[in-house]
């Protein structure tokens, strides 16, 4: 890891831990989420291209801000602008990083995004789709006093039906393929649960 990315990572981790974002579940840690998004972004970038430095910078910074009213992507973008200016990050690269951060959770397809923004958006959507979704469903359900295997199954079916409509929001061919692959894994586990639970 080069010094620039390392400095950005350290700043991002510090800000994520300080930003006051409420934790509904203790297992849904934003730093862990960011690391997983980075893995997805690298996988997509290997095929789709893009400037990996811009992608890594944007991923590390994409969730650093939080506000109860303003979209966290906008807050993260403003904070990132101050940070990038403090390290004299080149203007052209800075604009690409900020676009990726500001639009990482946008569902609009009407804007002209650069490839780095498309990759960051797709990577963010890929987190917790697939095997990790089952983990999320099971861990989230365990907070309920009436938790059961059947409750995890119902939660999984409902969330699967929500997720399958999200494929249209992915912008890269690789992102769509990975999303479909992960969704198929999720569906297969749900079918296996139904079989094993005799539902």
Residue 22 lies in a domain: yes
Residue 95 lies in a domain: yes
Q: What is the mean predicted confidence (pLDDT) over 20-49? A: 91
Asked whether the beta carbons of 166 and 186 are under 8 A apart, the reply is no
The answer, yes or no, to whether residue 24 has pLDDT greater than 80, is no
Same domain, 146 and 191: yes
Residue 26 lies in a domain: yes
Q: Write out the two tokens for 106.
A: 């946008």
Same domain, 56 and 101: yes
Whichever domain contains 19, its CATH number is 1.10.472.50
Q: How far is CA 23 from CA 19, 41, 141, in A?
A: 11, 24, 15
63-116 pLDDT tens trace: 999 989 998 999 999 999 999 999 999 999 999 999 999 999 888 767 789 999
Domain that holds residue 68: 3-106
pLDDT of residue 190: 95
Could you tell me which residues come within 8 angstroms of residue 176 by beta carbon, excluding any fewer than 6 positions away? 122, 167, 170
Same domain, 147 and 184: yes
Q: Write out the two tokens for 192.
A: 């296996």
Residue 118 lies in a domain: no
Same domain, 90 and 135: no
Return contacts of 21-26, CB within 8 angstroms, 24+ apart: 21/66, 21/72, 25/139, 25/140, 25/143
3-state secondary structure of 127: coil
The answer, yes or no, to whether residue 159 has pLDDT greater than 80, is yes
Residue 115 lies in a domain: no
In total, how many domains does the chain have? Answer: 2
Residue 84 lies in a domain: yes
Place of tokens 């506000």: 67
Residue 15 lies in a domain: yes
Specify the DSSP class assigned to residue 24: S
Considering only 45-54, 114-123, 131-140, which range has the smallest mean pLDDT? 131-140
């Amino acid at each position: 890891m080069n010094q620039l990315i390392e400095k950005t990572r350290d700043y991002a981790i510090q800000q994520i831990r300080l930003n006051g974002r409420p934790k509904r579940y203790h297992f849904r840690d934003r730093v862990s989420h960011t690391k997983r998004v980075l893995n997805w972004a690298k996988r997509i970038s290997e095929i789709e291209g893009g400037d990996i430095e811009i992608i890594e910078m944007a991923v590390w910074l994409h969730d650093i801000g939080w506000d109860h009213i303003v979209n966290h992507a906008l807050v993260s973008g403003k904070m990132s602008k101050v940070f990038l200016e403090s390290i004299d990050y080149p203007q052209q690269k800075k604009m690409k990083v900020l676009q990726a951060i500001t639009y990482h959770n946008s569902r609009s397809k009407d804007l002209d995004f650069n490839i780095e923004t498309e990759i960051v958006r797709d990577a963010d959507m890929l987190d917790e789709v697939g095997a990790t979704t089952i983990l999320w469903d099971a861990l989230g359900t365990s907070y309920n006093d009436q938790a059961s295997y059947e409750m995890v199954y119902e939660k999984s079916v409902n969330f699967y039906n929500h997720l399958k409509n999200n494929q249209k929001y992915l912008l890269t061919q690789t992102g769509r393929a990975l999303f479909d692959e992960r969704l198929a894994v999720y569906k297969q586990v749900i079918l296996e649960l139904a079989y094993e639970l005799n539902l």
